Amino acid sequence: MTKKYTLTILPGDGIGPEAMAEVRKVIDWLKNNKALSFTLHEDDIGGAAYDRYGVPLADETLEKCHASDAVIMGSVGGPKWDNVDYDKRPEAGLLRLRKEMGLFANLRPALVFDALIDASTLKPEIVKGLDILIVRELTGGVYFGEPRGIEDLGNGQRRGINTQVYETYEIERVGRVAFDLARKRGNKVHSCEKANVMESGKLWREDITALHQAEFNDVTLEHMYADNCAMQLLRNPSQFDVIVTDNLFGDILSDAAAMLTGSLGMLPSASLGEADKAGLYEPVHGSAPDIAGQGKANPLATILSFAMALRYSLDLSNEADAIESAVQDVLNNGQRTPDIMADGCTEVSTAQMGDALIKALEQ
Ligand code: IPM
Ligand code: MG
């Protein structure tokens, strides 16, 4: 029996489309070699959607996403849309997609591949074997809090306002995801906030503590101020297993954790909501407009995001494993896009990297 899945593919802006072209090769390979059938809906998001629909995420696109088992996204944004109004900027399309799909838990693994250990700017002994999972709250906090805006104070001054706000249910549900995942990994959670200066951080700490006591006291929990966490990530990253944190701190800490691994070009992410809903899968890196269209982009983060979709939304963990080990093989064979290029390796283009991956899958 052929299993059937519906995917929405949103290539987006910058290097998004060229990375997504390599994901399509993997999808085609799965179609041809496994008893799997994929119906693909392709649409625009971000600047590409703004150019086509006048908004960075059209209602009809959102409907397709809701009707899919998973959404695979490239990246959004670029200087072309710098002067577009805030609510129509490419990033606003992504934020709306996360919010409307209810994707409150963003999983950002930072994994150091042995073959890439020299790509890290940190000493190899600090990052070897690193395997951190950041669980970032994704639909609340200062990204969405009201009031927000820029006010004219009438005296030649203006005031910019954003609101950091969390309610208990938002903290508990993302906390639950983090503790659950920790049980399947190193059984340790660091919860990060700024309880020393922010009431929302104090509430975060209290609610995580209560949740831990009530449901997860077999998991080791440590609280850490977010600024200290940034420092500890560089000082001694292997102390971390799962880090759970709010939307803004998660945005920042996940970039820091990502760079421990040497290249943003390697890191996937999954955004999940309530168990039965479709997830959104996207690379951690941005749209890199400076290298777009030149065949220099590393497609592996987007391909690994697709692997996460197979694992978390389609329940195809064997296929996810196969893709992940094919990525290891390609790296071990020394094929490298410019972002991860090293002495003695062969530099390959975006498309050549995709082809190499298919070859590794075939073996
Ligand atoms: C990310 C990005 C986004 C964010 C932008 C593109 C809106 O930086 O996914 O980390 O800030 O969440
Ligand atoms: Mg970010």
Domain harbouring 245, CATH code = 3.40.718.10
Q: Please give the pLDDT value at position 265.
A: 86
Active-site residue, 114 included: no
Which among 150, 163, 157, 234 has a CA at the least distance from the CA of 199? 163
CA 251 to centroid of ligand 1, rounded, Å: 7
Ligand 1 atom nearest residue 255's Cα: 10
Mutate to test the pocket of ligand 1, among 76, 91, 287 (most ligand atoms within 8 A of CB): 91
- Residue 292 included in any domain: yes
Q: Tell me how far apart the alpha carbons of residues 214 and 223 are, in angstroms, rounded to a whole number.
A: 17
Ligand that comes closest to the CA of residue 92:
1
Using CA atoms, how far residue 232 sits from 181, 198, 236, 263, 359, in Å, is 21, 21, 5, 19, 39
User: How distant is the alpha carbon of residue 35 from its chain centre?
Assistant: 28
**88 and 120: one domain?**
no
Are 258 and 120 in a shared domain? Answer: yes
- 96 Cα to the center of ligand 1, angstroms: 12
Structure tokens at 183: 């049980």
Q: Which ligand is in closest contact with the Cα of 138? A: 1
**What CA–CA distance (Å, rounded) separates 16 from 138?**
21
311 lies in which domain range? 1-104+273-363
Active site residue 339: no
Of 213, 238, 263, the residue at which a domain comes to its end is 263
* Greatest Cα-to-Cα distance within the chain, rounded to the nearest angstrom: 71
Residues 233 and 277 in one domain: no
Annotated active-site residue in 251, 296, 312, 339: 251
31: annotated active-site residue: no
Q: Which two tokens stand for residue 257?
A: 């954790």
Mean pLDDT in each 10-residue stretch from start to end of the chain (363 residues)?
93 98 98 95 98 98 96 97 95 96 96 89 93 97 97 98 98 97 96 98 98 98 98 97 98 92 89 85 95 97 97 94 96 94 95 98 94
Closest ligand 1 atom, residue 251 Cα: 10
- Residue 268 domain-assigned (yes or no): no
pLDDT of residue 263: 79
Neighbours of 204 (CB within 10 A): 29
User: Under 8 Å CB-to-CB from 199, ≥6 apart: which residues?
Assistant: none
* Known active-site residue 227: yes
130 phi, psi to nearest 5 deg: -60, 135
Pocket around ligand 1 at a 6 A CB cut-off: 77, 91, 94-95, 251
Output the pLDDT for position 276: 64
Q: Which of 19, 180, 194, 214 is nearest to 107 (CA)?
A: 180
- Coil, helix or strand for 49? helix
85 is catalytic: no
pLDDT score, position 119: 84
- The verdict on 149 and 234 lying in the same domain is yes
pTM score above 0.85: yes
Residue 70: phi, psi to the nearest 5? -160, 155
